[in-house]
Amino acid sequence: MKLKTRLLISFCIMIFVPIGLIGALLIGFKNFQIKNLEQTYGLEGMSNYNYLTNSLQLLNRFTREDFEKLQKIAEEEPEKLEEISYLEELNRKLQEKYSYIIVRKDAEVIFEGIDDAKELPRQLPGYGESDADENSGIYIDGEVQALLKQVDFKYTDGSQGSLFLVMTVQQLLPEIKQLVVDLIVSVLLILCFTAAMMSIWIYRGIINPIKKLEVATQNIKEGNLDFTIDADSNDEVGELCRNFEEMRQRLKDNAEEKLANEKENKVLISNISHDLKTPITAIKGYVEGIMDGVADTPEKRDRYIRTIYNKANEMTTLINELTVYSQIDTNRIPYNFQKINVADYFNDCVEELGLELEARNIGLSYYNYAEDGVVIIADPEQLSRVIHNIVGNSVKYLDKAKGFINIRIKDVGDFIQVEIEDNGKGIAAKDLPYIFDRFYRTDASRNSATGGSGIGLSIVRKIIEDHGGKIWATSKEETGTIMYFVIRKYQEVPNE
């Protein structure tokens, strides 16, 4: 899930979930508290919040029955309202409902249902001044807020009596207090629960991947690239983790490639130094022989000079291979592609090779099965390097008394296939897959007969691949080797 979507969902949840839960909570509390009030105080018909929010209305409602009883007593048994014990018992029951009574006979208050005089209304209505009934009363404001209901009656001796039912508003009902506390606690719990759930969700979605990145960064800082970052989310942080993992893998590959290149360079230096040392030693030896007069005949001097010349050519070949290798390593081999007639090019190439092989007493056969007009796109100089490297490699490992090399040109559809076959000692099956790798050598002795830099065939493969072709080999030990490579033919694109 995208981070933007996650934050939007989190915002909606933090807004609407608490509102929904609080709404459901209020409805539940309303039903529960109203039912509780109805059962506790014998109230009926409390179907809304008015009684919970309007204390006067609630006090008036749940003292209605008591007021009706007082009216009945005042009408039928007024003499009881002079009995202090009876009034105290009646007042005690009313105090449970946050109410009390005051009884006045004529102008004298004969009973006060509360000890604190501050709680008494400062001025009570006179006899006959109030027309309150069970559904109404007189609200008294000031230091003490109260709802007062008055019952006027006549004592048996004809005295005027007034009974006042006073309902104080200073104290809320315990149920209402508890309701407010429960509501506040519940709202806080809902908010804490919602915030906790969102924090856990966001933590798992954002903080955990960030901690993985922090650990990964520390590993890279310490040079450790052998670890992985598991990113199982599809948001921006997960994408960042995947990009970081790709970066780590690329850094690791580059580091491994650098180590491999350093190892190859060491091998190259070792090979080149060894293979240069051999002809240089030979050259020095033959030059010293000439200088010391060992070559005391013209024939012997010619042989010494020819040997020096051949060894110098070996050194030139090694240096040329090193130059091409450096161009391969920096991917800067200079190519000059052009259209080449296959028959003309390979005829010239074979003629040149024939002179060299004849001097070494090696036979050369050439077969061209392609048509005369076949043309390829290639760099003639680099293609010549390929052929000479392959033939030179074959000559190096010829072990028969009479060696031969066969060159065949075949037309294979969109490509020209070149086959170079020798009757050398062959290549072992275990070595055949690796002969085109840089510095791979089937002969570990590296003597003057079978030495070399180990990069000749790797150069050949690079050049052929840069021409859009492919190279491979088949071989049988003690029988010989056949090298194959293909070069794409030139095809005219018709104009529409």
Domain 336-488: which CATH number of 3.30.565.10, 3.40.50.2000, 1.10.357.10, 3.40.50.300 = 3.30.565.10
Contact indicator for 27, 83 with CB cutoff of 8 Å = no
- What pLDDT is attached to residue 452? 53
pLDDT in tens, 178-197: 667 777 888 888 888 887 88
Sign of CA dihedral 375, 378, 380, 384: negative
Flag whether pLDDT at 214 surpasses 80. yes
pLDDT in tens, 117-172: 555 665 778 888 776 566 667 777 766 667 788 888 888 888 888 888 887 765 54
Contact indicator for 99, 63 with CB cutoff of 8 Å = yes
CA atoms within 13 A of residue 56's CA, in its CB half-sphere? 12
Sign of CA dihedral 43, 48, 50, 53: positive
- Which residue in this structure is represented by tokens 């190279």? 471
Q: Give me the chain's average pLDDT, please.
A: 80
Which token pair is 320? 């040329």
Hey, which residues does 365 pair with through a beta bridge?
406
pLDDT class for 370, splitting at 50, 70, 90?
Answer: very high
- What pLDDT is attached to residue 45? 53
What mean pLDDT do residues 339-345 have?
94
- What pLDDT is attached to residue 406? 95
The model's pTM is 0.48
Write down the architecture of domain 225-332 according to CATH: Orthogonal Bundle (1.10)
Highest mean pLDDT pick, 60-69, 123-132, 147-156, 366-375:
366-375
Which token pair is 217? 């960064």
Higher pLDDT, 245 or 444: 245
Q: Domains of the chain: which residue ranges?
A: 3-50+176-206, 54-171, 225-332, 336-488
Proportion of the chain above pLDDT 70, given as a percent: 78
What mean pLDDT do residues 397-426 have?
92
Higher pLDDT, 450 or 254: 254
Closest CA to 320 of 353, 275, 281: 275
Highest mean pLDDT pick, 62-76, 130-144, 266-280, 469-483:
469-483
pLDDT in tens, 287-323: 988 888 888 888 888 888 988 988 888 788 778 777 7
Flag whether pLDDT at 84 surpasses 80. yes
User: Which of 68-77, 92-101, 117-126, 311-320 shows the lowest mean pLDDT across its residues?
Assistant: 117-126
Reduced to 3 states (helix: H, G, I; strand: E, B; else coil), residue 464 is helix
Distance of CA 472 to the CA centre of its chain: 42
CA–CA–CA angle 387, 392, 396 (5° rounding): 155
- Which residue in this structure is represented by tokens 């400062």? 122
pLDDT class for 449, splitting at 50, 70, 90?
Answer: very low
Higher pLDDT, 41 or 233: 233
- What pLDDT is attached to residue 349? 92
Flag whether pLDDT at 445 surpasses 50. no
- What pLDDT is attached to residue 33? 62
- What pLDDT is attached to residue 446? 42
- What pLDDT is attached to residue 229? 78
Sign of CA dihedral 264, 270, 271, 276: positive
